[in-house]
Structure 1
Amino acid sequence: MKKKKFIAPLKSKVLLVFSSLLFLASCDLFSIKSEEEDPDNPLVASVGTANLYLADIDHISKEMATTLDSAELVNRYIQSWIKKQLVIREASKNLTLNEAEINRKLLDYRYALIAYEYEKNFVEQSLDREVTPAEIQAYYETNKENFALKEIIVRTNFIKLEKSLPQKRQLERLLAGNQDDQKEELKEFAIRYANNYFIEDSTWIKFDDIIINTPLSQNNNHVQLLRNEKLISVDDETYSYYFKILEYRLRDQVPPLEFVRDEISKIIVNKRRVEIAEKLKRDIYNNALENNEFTIYE
């Protein structure tokens, strides 16, 4: 017979058929009743011939911080166990189970799980999570169109204060200014008088997030509002709300790098994760090929 080099690829199998899950559950979650019971491991619940013992749930109470939390979690576990056993019993009445097929699937699942755990541990140990500003900038320049905005974002100063305060004119003067000393004065004003404020003017934020719980949330034409007004002020019965719009980006526009910096960093790290996993599989295959560690017969 001719020989061919072959190796089964490492592949995580996510889904098992329902019968396999039933078999797993029945193996792992109960013990068959015996005539003699261990006094140090009393019976907690039973469904037919399926038993749940104290040893099966003892780890739950040890992991919980308080007695109340422990008791509640144990009770939930017992109820969940009972429901699973009832489903297993009902299924066994209505399904013709092929034990050989179930065992084959369980074996496949076990091998896939071993491969998955090894790959995951190897990747996590090898992964470099440090992403340089240069890498982020390069990715942004190459892929900026992929970050088109789904909502309006702004850089803004926001102040909410009681409508009756006499310092409103002082606030308007500060919001109209651009000098560094006025920025510091604005911060001091906000700390002293404002009921709520956002004066991180170097930070981009979703416009909907900053206007929530203000009268502006009822305005349906945000685009026109932003284009026509740099200083927006609105009142309700109790408060005055001031928005100094420093810069904005509309839907479908490309956001500034600062707004997507964290997202890009995560993308780059995830790409590294995928590349390490793929290289691991290639290396395993190539090493086995070089050392004649597998054959396939025709």
Structure 2
Amino acid sequence: MDGINLKNISYTYPGATHPVLQGVNLEIPRNQWTTLIGRNGSGKSTLARLIDGLLVPSTGSIMVNGLPVSEDNLAELHRRLGIVFQNPDNQFVGATVADDIAFGLENHQVPHDKMAGLIADALAKVGMTDLATAEPEMLSGGQKQRVAIAGILALKPEVIILDEATSMLDPEGRQMMLDLIATLRNSQELTIISITHDPVEMGMADQIVVVDDQGIADQGPASAILKQTTLLRRLGVGIPTGQHFHDLLTAAGVAVPDRYFTIDEMVEWLCQKLS
């Protein structure tokens, strides 16, 4: 079975009186970019950790491209799927960039004679070949996140989860990271799951899943969710600039087509309107 499938998933943290997720059913298509949005504490990161097997659901079952998420399958699951977390400093264990990638390969019993080629290939894909011998603490935040992705790519994964992975980067580093993910998704046939409050990142997704009230409150193409600015404000996530202009113009009495506009599309529409 392709894709990621969650059936009747519930989870309650130890000591909590109420579940953070209850009766969740969700299908995430293979080779697409799916973004999870929601208020802080809504269960987005919990979903990611359940999919990765870091947490065990109270009820329900999860399949990742036909592989049941279970204790017996964790080694194979973590070869197929990797998570990039918010703080890159918490992800390094090696003295150099290459050592850090090698550590992950060793954990998966990859033969040493194959490691050098896999490390070189992974670093090339993220544009970090020249920094293979660099110490991680000398890297920028964006470079650290690229190394984290390289460590995942070396294992030839099927799924990459970005858990607020761009939130600590400056705007330039964030855009470089997102461009890299988009390129990898298209060239490597990866399934991307991102958790974010950033409207630019949300706009790059194929579909958006709204996590709220212990479950899935809404789901659909990015363009359908991002035009719901009242919903986005309630969730505390960013409003895309193009859609923000759309709402301002509508409020001023300008007849604007009732669809989602990126900023480039809004500029183009305004130029046509004013010409």
**TM-score (ref. length: structure 1):** 0.20
**TM-score (ref. length: structure 2):** 0.21
Q: Per residue, is there more helix in 1 or in 2?
A: 1
